[in-house]
Structure 1
Amino acid sequence: MTGERQGAARGEFTGLAAVVTGGASGIGLATAGLLAARGARVACLDLHPEQVPAPLLGLAADVTDDGSVRAAVASAAEALGGIDVLVNNAGIGARGTVESNPDDEWHRVFDVNVVGIARVTRAALPHLRASAHAAIVNTCSIAAWAGLPDRALYSATKGAVQSLTLAMAADHVREGIRVNCVNPGTVDTPWVRRLLAAAEDPEAELAALQARQPTGRLVGAEEVAAAIAYLAGPLAGATTGTVLGVDGGMHGLRLRPGPPPPI
């Protein structure tokens, strides 16, 4: 990349306002920090806004509560002077086969991972429609593409997020609002580290997670953030209805057995 293009990338969000849900940790915090570093004014909507570091704006929001969402989005728009970019990142996990989780857990995980996106998006749409550069990026998962063991409920929600992304892109493209999603593989986040700590053999579980990605390692939260920033940025103005894998090659590559690459 030339110096001129690097400079454009570093400042490509100058003058734009972004809202990131689940922005207090993991992928959300990495994304919010990157957008701010590239010039955006950023608000993080989270259950724990006190954990959001300055200069990011932390706002309390529960994506399962419509009133909470509408109040937080309105506060963000007022504080930032509008909303140009929405990153729907808030989500929760679930383990088990189709028979493992009770009905109330199925409803709860869908309420956060799928209906939560709908709540935040519909609250933000009036502000996005007023933007000359409007973009939505949803955080999905490799689980929308690949059948993973012991992840039936989680996979069902992420399959819904991928389909929802495409439907939203079709609905809003003629309003000048682009909608895309990222499908990360297993990302090194606090949630994954908690799962590893609870495993019978954490080191063996980590090795198994690393091995199923052709790169031989977990995905970094910063790597997912970079993909989100690309999709959200003006340089991706012709990209909508796209699902971008950030999975270490897990979805598309079928390698022969052998040692992982030296990276």
Structure 2
Amino acid sequence: MWHPFSVPCGRGVPLFGINLITLTWKGFFAMKYIRSEKYSTRAINDLLMGPNPVKLTEELLLDHQIPNGATVMDLGCGRSVTSVFLAKEYGFRVFATDLWISATENRQFFDRMGLSGDRIIPIHADATALPYAEEFFDAVVSVDSYQYFGRDPEYLGRHLLPLVKHGGYIYICIPGMKKDCHAQLPPELLLSWTPEQLDTIHDADYWRNIISQTRGVDILSIHEMESNEEVWNDWLACDNEYARGDRKSMEAGGGKYLNFIAIVLRRR
């Protein structure tokens, strides 16, 4: 899902005085987007609404606990490239749920991708009025959209958690800040986004505080993701008016304040 800011986190390394052990460690353990490679096509890139959501999803689901064949909601799926990825690569039955993109448009995309209606179902719905039965889903996956509605401390317990089976999982990926700086926003960030737009992003401590207010859910992990520079570069290379606007902050170095945050939850 596109959001009104996008900046990659630069991780430049000086050529001199470099620590060889550190470099070797990073290179060895760097995120490998093995599943995502086949989705690096012009047709997919033209559908992006923000930093590469396919690669973000692949990292988010490393060592995931969702069983094959599970019924999964892709919440805030946008143009549903993540929904196709979940169905094809993980074998889930996916309910692709979004407010901004119509179910008809997403259904046409699924047809082009060769996915039948029983494997992936497009739903047009608001995140606060989801048309599903309680305990319907084995899991929920939400990539780059939860920041719009999940900042309400009551959202998780009132609107989302009841739809997940007991013992089921919620995997969330959101754009974040390394450290909240809303009291004094860096000028680099304001080159592309207003303070109101930037209010959708916060640091990991902020999200831990929000989620910990919900009963009946275990926080398994809240951590900074490795995916930053590569997913941003994929987005900023797009010939898209929003991507072009986001380049201003990127080129000014605003990415050093930003990251992506993974949240993994389990319903008790």
The TM-score, its normalising length taken from structure 1, stands at: 0.48
Question: Which has a greater percent of strand?
Answer: 2
Which is bigger in relative contact order (C-alpha 8 A, separation at least 6)? Answer: 2
